[in-house]
A and B are shown apart, each in its own frame.
Chain A
Amino acid sequence: MDMKTFSKQLQSINQHLAQLDAIDDALIRAIENGLPLCSRPYAEIARQLGIDEQQVLARLAGLQQQGVIKRMGVIVRHRELGYRANAMLVWDVPDERVSELGRCLSQYDFITLCYRRPRVLPDWPYNLFCMIHGKSREDVLQRIDWLIEQCHLESLPHHVLFSRRRFKQRGAVYRADNMRHTQKRQEKHCAT
């Protein structure tokens, strides 16, 4: 891969990187594998971090407001719930239309991600990516036909990459060096 180009792309994205202080940082680390399942989960996190429960709640609200946290809730595993077919749908869209089409595709709930990414020519001409889930292959293909119609994508080259084997899936670990530590912590019983 071309590290120089990749590095430049990352830098342009990282201009938007949130400024987090050490406590936010520790808080993210403490919850990235999930909240404890006990009566006072935020108090439990607070105890681990040596701050108080109200601070944990206020900081989590702040991280949501800043957009660092997109949502908090029950994170379901689609495949295990019968949504066996999932595909990455990629389009080669003229640069000036990417935002408009990205927004059009994102309004449907069966689209679970929708991103602009760089083309890597000549190997990879596609610049708009979404993830689509369905109960079967036919279900997914039908939804794609419907999307093409709704968002007027008829003339644009696209490709559907159905998933085959899943080798690994879990939440992102932003602090890989701490992974073992946090996993162990999650398994531990709640003190409260």
Chain B
Amino acid sequence: MTDTRHLTELERHLLNDYQHDLPLSPTPYADMAEQLGVSEKQVLESLDTLHRDGLISRVGAVFRPNRVGASTLAAMSVDESELESIAEIISSYPHVNHNYEREHEFNLWFVATASSEAELCSVLGEMEERTSHSILALPLLEDYHIDLGFDLQWT
């Protein structure tokens, strides 16, 4: 995509002020609207637009890794000529939520999540077989980060 599009004042507030502490009340969007001095309809429409434009992935929860199900970061070292086709195989799994090319000899990085450890092992094993590449599996051992979202700077 090209340059970031112009954001309205309301959109900036929605993006920056509600990354955590979404009101746990029956009417969270009306609460946000009241705090921002706009109508609930405006909040809902703006969130819908931000979602359709791909600027937000959802209004919802971030789950702590490994608190539900089993997951791991994984990497592969893939020849440039094969990278796209192998990335496509990896992305085709519903278990994979992030899949990036990165600058390193290990150049394909993804996160795989499953409902159980056994399912995760079997998915990773199947990926190795289908791609004929071995996987570097790097599960999380300790989490140091307290997730408070990300302070967006507009200038």
Contacts and interface: CB of A to CB of B under 8 A. Distances in A.
B134 A1 contact: yes
A41 B15 contact: no
Interface footprint category on B? 35 or more
B121 A39 contact: no
B19 to A, nearest CB: 5
Interface string A150-190: 00000000011111111111111111110100000000000
Interface string A19-49: 0100000001001111101111111000000
A147 interface: no
Interface string B102-121: 11101101110111010011
A81 B57 CA distance: 12
Contacts, number: 294
Given A57-B26, A68-B64, A161 B104 contact: yes
A76 B95 CA distance: 21
Contact of B91 (A78, A113, A163, A168): A168
B26 A43 contact: yes
Given A38-B44, A57-B26, A77 B55 contact: yes
A40 B27 CA distance: 5
Interface in A65-117: 66-78, 80-82, 88, 98-99, 102-103, 105-106, 109-117
A191 interface: no
Contacts of A133: 150
Interface in B21-79: 21-22, 24-30, 40, 44, 47-48, 50-51, 53-73, 75
Contact of A165 (B14, B40, B101): B101
A175 B54 CA distance: 23
A68 B139 contact: no
Contacts of B141: 9, 12-13, 115-118
Given A171-B58, A172-B63, A162 B103 contact: yes
Tell which of A115, A133, A172 has the most Cβ of chain B within 10 Å. Answer: A172
Interface residues of A, number: 91
A68 B104 CA distance: 33
A111 B106 CA distance: 22
Given A73-B20, A116-B142, A164-B103, A17 B44 contact: no
Given A81-B15, A98-B142, A6 B61 contact: no
B97 A169 contact: yes
21 contacts: A6-B139, A57-B25, A69-B61, A71-B61, A71-B148, A72-B22, A73-B21, A75-B19, A76-B15, A80-B53, A106-B145, A112-B150, A115-B143, A118-B138, A124-B138, A165-B101, A167-B100, A172-B97, A176-B93, A176-B94, A176-B95
Interface of A: 1, 3, 6-7, 9-14, 16-18, 20, 28, 31-35, 37-43, 53, 57, 60-61, 63, 66-78, 80-82, 88, 98-99, 102-103, 105-106, 109-118, 120, 123-124, 129-130, 133, 159-177, 179
